[in-house]
């Protein structure tokens, strides 16, 4: 009788679907992750709406510092290939902004702070970036591939415009004649989500949740610059002979 009664009680308990504490904890975490991902999607959608609000004119326009960019040199502008080089300039031009017209930066020399001219160069491209420009064969003739080393000793193969002498720098006032439209209700919703994520320090956790943890084994180290230069000294035939002779 007791065995039958215990069996009935056990079946009744199983019918209630009582969950363990571990299952409850896992479900609470899963529910929190889902709500966090939903809030992240809402945040991205609100930012997209903010970017698509458009622009509105500013009356009257006002100056905010200076801007410096490249233009065609006078003799090139009046030449036969002015349109050709203008088309290239539109792809390699760069713009710098400064609060003063001299475009200088502060540097320290012998313990003393001095102002030196701020350099400005034309845009350089990698191989896959250059293909996106859809340059004509005549335009590609004015680009060459150079190995450029950054301050960390890492080398990059970049395509550089070969005749920068055809352009010159000009400085113009940076006039502000338009601004983005503002929606106060939209800004309040974005600030509310930002405040929720920031005060609880949830942004690092959200990155791990969306992109996963960083796996060191999947990160491939690139050879150092000195090894690249050493490899480039020998041809393929020389490398095969060195392998056959056991030199390496």
**Any domain includes 126:** yes
**Any domain includes 5:** no
**Any domain includes 15:** no
Task: Give yes or no: residues 141 and 162 share one domain.
Answer: yes
CA distances from 126 to 60, 150, 158, 222 (A): 41, 14, 5, 17
pLDDT at 218: 47
Supply φ then ψ for residue 185, to 5 degrees. Answer: -65, -40
Task: Give yes or no: residues 119 and 29 share one domain.
Answer: no
Task: Give yes or no: residues 143 and 50 share one domain.
Answer: no
| Terminal Cα distance for the chain, rounded | 84
Task: Give yes or no: residues 190 and 76 share one domain.
Answer: no
Task: Give yes or no: residues 194 and 87 share one domain.
Answer: no
- Into how many domains does the chain fold? 2
Residue 204 belongs to domain spanning: 22-54+181-213
Kindly list the averaged pLDDT for each block of 10 residues, start to end, along the chain of length 248.
62 66 91 93 94 92 95 93 93 94 91 92 91 89 87 84 94 94 93 94 90 56 51 65 68
Pairing of strands 104-109, 95-98: unpaired
| Cβ pair 104, 115 in contact under 8 A | yes
pLDDT at 151: 77
pLDDT at 87: 94
The pTM (predicted TM-score) of the whole model is 0.64
**Any domain includes 97:** yes
């Amino acid at each position: 009788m007791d065995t039958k009664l215990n069996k009935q009680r056990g079946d009744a308990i199983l019918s209630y679907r009582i969950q363990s504490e571990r299952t409850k904890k896992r479900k609470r975490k899963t529910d929190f992750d889902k709500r966090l991902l939903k809030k992240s999607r809402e945040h991205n959608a609100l930012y997209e709406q903010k970017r698509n609000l458009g622009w509105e004119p500013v009356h009257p326009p006002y100056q905010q510092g200076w801007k410096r960019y490249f233009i065609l040199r006078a003799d090139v502008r009046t030449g036969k290939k002015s349109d050709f080089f203008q088309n290239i300039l539109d792809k390699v031009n760069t713009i710098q902004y400064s609060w003063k017209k001299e475009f200088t930066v502060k540097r320290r020399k012998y313990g003393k702070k001095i102002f030196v001219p701020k350099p400005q160069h034309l845009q350089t491209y990698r191989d896959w970036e250059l293909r996106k420009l859809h340059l004509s064969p005549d335009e590609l003739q004015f680009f060459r591939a150079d190995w450029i080393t950054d301050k960390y000793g890492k080398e990059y193969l970049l395509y550089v415009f070969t005749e920068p002498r055809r352009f010159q720098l000009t400085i113009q006032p940076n006039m502000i004649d338009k601004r983005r439209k503002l929606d106060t209700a939209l800004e309040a919703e974005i600030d509310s989500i930002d405040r929720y994520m920031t005060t609880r320090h949830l942004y690092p956790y959200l990155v791990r949740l969306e992109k996963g943890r960083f796996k060191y084994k999947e990160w491939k180290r690139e050879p150092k610059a000195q090894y690249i230069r050493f490899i480039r000294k020998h041809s393929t035939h020389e490398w095969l002979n060195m392998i056959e002779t056991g030199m390496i």
